[in-house]
């Protein structure tokens, strides 16, 4: 963008559906309060008309900016920290498959989904670096813990992002995991685990409190667990996640007395043996990948989905 023209290139299909304020934040890289003021004072026009910050843009729409906006955006981008060398040079994770504006990657254990304190290399950073030329850079639709491996959905368009996030929040997308747990699992068949989870701040960092009964500000959390292999003091479980809470599988299994192997937060530290094995979309399309575990931890065979349960028993 240059100061000779104050019209953006028309809204592209991948950007369609965003709120105007959101669209401008992504395109300009400027603070939302500044853009909001320009919109409120009529300095930004959407298809030649005064506009509101939360109206949505569509493919082909024209957005006109005040004369100085282009220069400010260029200055802001020049001051942005460049992607880390690791993010620029590191490859994207293996691709499991594609569908309807989505990419499904096999995220390795140890790679964070988003950057954070002390973390500059993350899946989102690699995506931004690899797709820097696109007006809408592919973004992860959900999160996996850094040390959890497995399938993660990435959206190539805003409409795909919004669709998948709605499907995830309503439980229309099915996610199944594999987990090696400490101890001999006491059940032989699939069992429904239901608890109430609440995030609590502690001196050693936040942790999830688990209760069998409702707590203030706690969220009901449900998953189905089915044993696949029992080997002495450990069990390989298949987990069907019915709700998506922070650390849900790890916290619930620990509350049952069977923490995930290697989970230093809720059990004994080591290599975390938790893997997002399968994603099933509402239309039945399925994407699955076995974990890269070796030796005694190997789990190369992908089991069939857990049958639906009418009722279950809590641990």
**Residues annotated as catalytic (active site), given as ranges:** 145
- Judged by DSSP in three states, 98 sits in strand
Both structure tokens of 312: 């279950």
* DSSP for 61-84, written as a single string: --EE--TTHHHHHHHHHHHSPPPP
268, 182 Cβ separation under 8 angstroms: yes
Enumerate helices (H) and strands (E) in the chain, giving the number of each: 7, 13
Residue 312 DSSP code: -
Pairing outcome for strands 286-288 and 234-241: unpaired
In sequence order, the 6+-apart residues with CB closer than 8 A to the CB of 99 are 281, 285
Both structure tokens of 121: 């290399």
Q: Which residue has the tokens 């530290």?
A: 269
């Amino acid at each position: 963008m240059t100061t000779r023209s104050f019209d953006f290139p028309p809204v592209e299909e991948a950007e369609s559906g965003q709120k105007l304020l959101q669209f401008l934040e992504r395109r300009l890289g400027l603070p939302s309060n500044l853009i909001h003021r320009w919109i409120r004072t009529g300095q930004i026009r959407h298809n030649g008309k005064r506009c509101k910050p939360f109206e949505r843009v569509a493919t082909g729409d024209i957005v006109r900016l005040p004369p100085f906006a282009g220069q400010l955006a260029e200055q802001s981008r020049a001051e942005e920290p460049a992607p880390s060398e690791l993010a620029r040079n590191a490859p994207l994770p293996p691709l499991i498959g594609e569908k309807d504006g989505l990419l499904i990657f096999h995220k390795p254990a140890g790679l964070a989904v988003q950057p954070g304190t002390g973390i500059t290399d993350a899946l989102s950073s690699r995506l931004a670096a690899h797709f820097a030329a696109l007006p809408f850079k592919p973004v992860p639709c959900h999160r996996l813990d850094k040390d959890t491996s497995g399938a993660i959905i990435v959206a190539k368009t805003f409409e795909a992002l919004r669709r998948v996030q709605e499907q995830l929040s309503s439980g229309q997308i099915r996610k199944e995991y594999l987990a090696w747990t400490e101890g001999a699992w006491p059940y032989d068949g699939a069992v429904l685990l239901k608890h109430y989870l609440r995030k609590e701040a502690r001196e050693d960092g936040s942790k999830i409190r688990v209760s069998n009964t409702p707590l203030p500000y706690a969220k009901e959390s449900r998953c189905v667990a089915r044993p696949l292999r029992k080997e002495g003091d450990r069990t390989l479980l298949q987990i069907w996640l019915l709700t998506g809470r922070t650390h849900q599988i790890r916290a619930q299994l620990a509350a049952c007395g069977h923490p995930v192997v290697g989970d230093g937060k809720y059990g004994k530290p080591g290599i975390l043996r938790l893997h997002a094995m399968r994603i099933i979309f509402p239309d039945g399309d399925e994407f699955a990948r076995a974990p890269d575990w070796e030796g005694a931890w190997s789990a190369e065979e992908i089991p069939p989905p857990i049958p639906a349960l009418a009722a279950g028993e809590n641990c």
